[in-house]
């Protein structure tokens, strides 16, 4: 079935909001809450979660630069497949460098793609440390950890920036829901 027909049946367009930010910045938490809100309002959407992909489809990949790029390439291709099926995709991935973000953009159609920078200082992310990963990385037990032993390059031209140090979760969700609705 053609994408236009599916989007007409859905009552909305497909698209991708690709999140980027340090581990622990709030990407997945925001994505899950936004998905709840969008589904409640009749928007067909999916969270394409990096942690889930790494446990399944991408379990053969490590955290070298080559493996990170392949992880993101696969995720971007999956995201575009969902979009072609009329879905709106929320993709919370660290996507740590400009070269990583360029790979994603090369697989998701420009008209379907929006980039969200979930801004949060390294200090705050270390304090949050929801999975205990920062403490392992700081102790040298977790090599290639973004923000500690691997670089994170904040994007300079994101379509939207949400600062999770300045905004409460509900405000972050409201901002992103409004942004997504403007894309539909």
| Spatial separation of the C-alpha atoms in residues 170 and 2, rounded to whole Å | 36
Contact call for residues 122 and 22 (beta carbons, < 8 A): yes
* Domain count along the chain: 1
Is 30 part of any domain?
Answer: yes
Is 134 part of any domain?
Answer: yes
Share of the chain above pLDDT 70, in %: 99
Q: What is the pLDDT of residues 110-155, one digit of tens each?
A: 999 999 999 999 999 999 988 889 999 999 998 889 999 999 999 9
What is the per-residue pLDDT for 144? 87
What is the per-residue pLDDT for 64? 84
Is 72 part of any domain?
Answer: yes
Is 91 part of any domain?
Answer: yes
Q: What is the mean pLDDT of the chain?
A: 94
What is the per-residue pLDDT for 131? 87
What is the per-residue pLDDT for 129? 85
What is the per-residue pLDDT for 109? 95
| Spatial separation of the C-alpha atoms in residues 184 and 88, rounded to whole Å | 9
Q: Which residues are annotated as a binding site for ATP?
A: 21-28
CA distances (Å), origin 180, targets 16, 35, 84, 176, 183: 9, 10, 17, 6, 5
Is 184 part of any domain?
Answer: no
The CATH number assigned to the domain holding 160 equals: 3.40.50.300
Is 183 part of any domain?
Answer: no
Q: What is the pLDDT of residues 8-44, one digit of tens each?
A: 898 899 999 999 999 999 999 999 999 999 999 999 9
Range of the domain at 58: 3-178
| Spatial separation of the C-alpha atoms in residues 27 and 164, rounded to whole Å | 9
What is the per-residue pLDDT for 16? 98
What is the per-residue pLDDT for 36? 98
Q: What is the pLDDT of residues 64-94, one digit of tens each?
A: 889 989 999 999 999 999 999 999 999 999 9
Q: CB-based contacts of 61: which residues, under 8 Å, 6+ apart?
A: 54, 67, 68, 70, 71
43 by Cβ neighbours in 10 Å (0-12 / 13-18 / 19+) ranks as buried
Is 55 part of any domain?
Answer: yes
Is 109 part of any domain?
Answer: yes
């Amino acid at each position: 079935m053609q994408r236009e027909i599916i989007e007409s049946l859905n009552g909305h367009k497909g698209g991708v909001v690709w999140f980027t930010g340090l581990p622990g910045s709030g990407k997945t938490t925001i994505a899950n809450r936004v998905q709840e809100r969008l589904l409640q309002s009749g928007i067909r959407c999916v969270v394409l979660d990096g942690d889930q992909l790494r446990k399944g489809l991408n379990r053969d990949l490590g955290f070298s630069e080559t493996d990170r790029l392949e992880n993101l390439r696969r995720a971007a291709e999956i995201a575009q497949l969902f979009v072609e099926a009329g879905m709106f995709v929320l993709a919370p991935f660290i996507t740590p460098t400009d070269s990583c973000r360029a790979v994603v953009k090369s697989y998701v159609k420009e008209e379907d793609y929006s980039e969200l920078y979930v801004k949060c200082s390294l200090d705050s992310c270390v304090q949050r440390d929801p999975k205990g990963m920062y403490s392992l990385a700081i102790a040298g037990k977790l090599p290639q950890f973004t923000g500690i032993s691997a670089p994170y390059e904040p994007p300079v031209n994101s379509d939207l920036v949400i600062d999770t140090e300045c905004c409460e979760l509900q405000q972050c969700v409201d901002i992103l829901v409004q942004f997504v609705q403007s894309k539909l």
